[in-house]
Amino acid sequence: MSKRAFNFNAGPAALPLEVLERAQAEFVDYRNTGMSIMEMSHRGAVYEAVHNEAQERLLSLLGNPSGYKVLFIQGGASTQFAMIPMNFLGQGHAANYVMTGSWADKALKEAKLIGETHVAASSEESKYMSLPKLADIQLSDNAAYLHLTSNETIEGTQFKDFPDTGAVPLICDMSSDILSRPFDLRRFGMVYAGAQKNLGPSGVAVVIVREDLITDSPKHLPTMLRYNTYLKNNSLYNTPPSFGIYMINEVLKWIEEKGGLAGVQDMNRKKAALIYDAIDNSGGFYRGCVNPDSRSDMNITFRLETEELEKEFVKASEKEGFVGLKGHRSVGGLRASVYNAVPYESCKALVDFMEHFKNNR
Ligand X SMILES: *Cc1c(COP(=O)(O)O)cnc(C)c1O
List interacting residues with ligand X (CB under 6 A). 11, 76-78, 103, 149, 153, 173, 175-176, 194, 197
Q: Is 32 marked within a binding site?
A: no
Q: Which is nearer to ligand X, 205 or 354 (CB)?
A: 205
Q: Is 265 marked within a binding site?
A: no
Instruction: Please report how close the Cβ of residue 177 comes to ligand X at its closest, in angstroms.
Output: 8
Q: Is 78 marked within a binding site?
A: yes
Single out the catalytic residue among 69, 177, 197, 326.
197
197 catalytically annotated = yes
Please name which of 60, 197, 81 lies closest in space to residue 147, comparing C-alpha atoms. Answer: 81
Task: Judge whether 208 and 62 are in contact, CB under 8 Å.
Answer: yes
141 catalytically annotated = no
Q: Is 216 marked within a binding site?
A: no
Instruction: Please report how close the Cβ of residue 299 comes to ligand X at its closest, in angstroms.
Output: 8
Q: Which is nearer to ligand X, 36 or 78 (CB)?
A: 78
Q: Which is nearer to ligand X, 149 or 242 (CB)?
A: 149
Single out the catalytic residue among 69, 173, 271, 297.
173
Q: Is 254 marked within a binding site?
A: no
Max CA pair span of the chain: 64
Q: What are phi and psi of 329, to 5 degrees?
A: -55, -25
Answer positive or negative: Cα dihedral of 228, 233, 234, 237: negative
Q: Which is nearer to ligand X, 108 or 278 (CB)?
A: 108
Q: Which residues pair with 94 in a beta bridge?
A: 143
Q: How many CB atoms lie within 10 A of CB 319?
A: 7
Helix axes 260-280, 242-257, angle to 10 degrees: 80
Write the DSSP assignment of 207-246 as a string of letters: EEEEGGGSTT--TTS-GGG-HHHHHHTTT-SS---HHHHH
Task: Judge whether 188 and 172 are in contact, CB under 8 Å.
Answer: yes
Q: Is 43 marked within a binding site?
A: yes
Single out the catalytic residue among 69, 103, 271, 297.
103
Q: What are phi and psi of 124, to 5 degrees?
A: -60, -35
Q: Is 196 marked within a binding site?
A: yes
Instruction: Establish whether the linkage from the previous residue to 12 is cis, with ω within 30° of 0.
Output: yes
Instruction: Please report how close the Cβ of residue 1 comes to ligand X at its closest, in angstroms.
Output: 30
Q: Is 153 marked within a binding site?
A: yes
Instruction: Please report how close the Cβ of residue 359 comes to ligand X at its closest, in angstroms.
Output: 34
328 to each of 102, 143, 152, 178, how far by Cα in Å?
10, 33, 12, 20
Instruction: Please report how close the Cβ of residue 171 comes to ligand X at its closest, in angstroms.
Output: 12
Instruction: Please report how close the Cβ of residue 307 comes to ligand X at its closest, in angstroms.
Output: 24
Q: How far apart are the first and last CA of the chain?
A: 35
254 catalytically annotated = no
Q: Which is nearer to ligand X, 94 or 191 (CB)?
A: 191
Please name which of 83, 3, 31 lies closest in space to residue 249, comparing C-alpha atoms. Answer: 31
Q: Residue type at 141?
A: D
Please give the distance of CA 225 from its chain centroid, rounded to a whole number: 21
Mark residue 221 as left, alpha or beta (left: phi above 0; alpha: psi -120 to 50; beta: remaining): beta
Q: Which is nearer to ligand X, 107 or 304 (CB)?
A: 107
- Residues involved in catalysis: 103, 173, 197
Q: Which residues are known binding-site members for pyridoxal 5'-phosphate?
A: 77-78, 103, 153, 173, 196, 238-239
Q: Which residues are known binding-site members for L-glutamate?
A: 43
Q: Which residues are known binding-site members?
A: 43, 77-78, 103, 153, 173, 196, 238-239
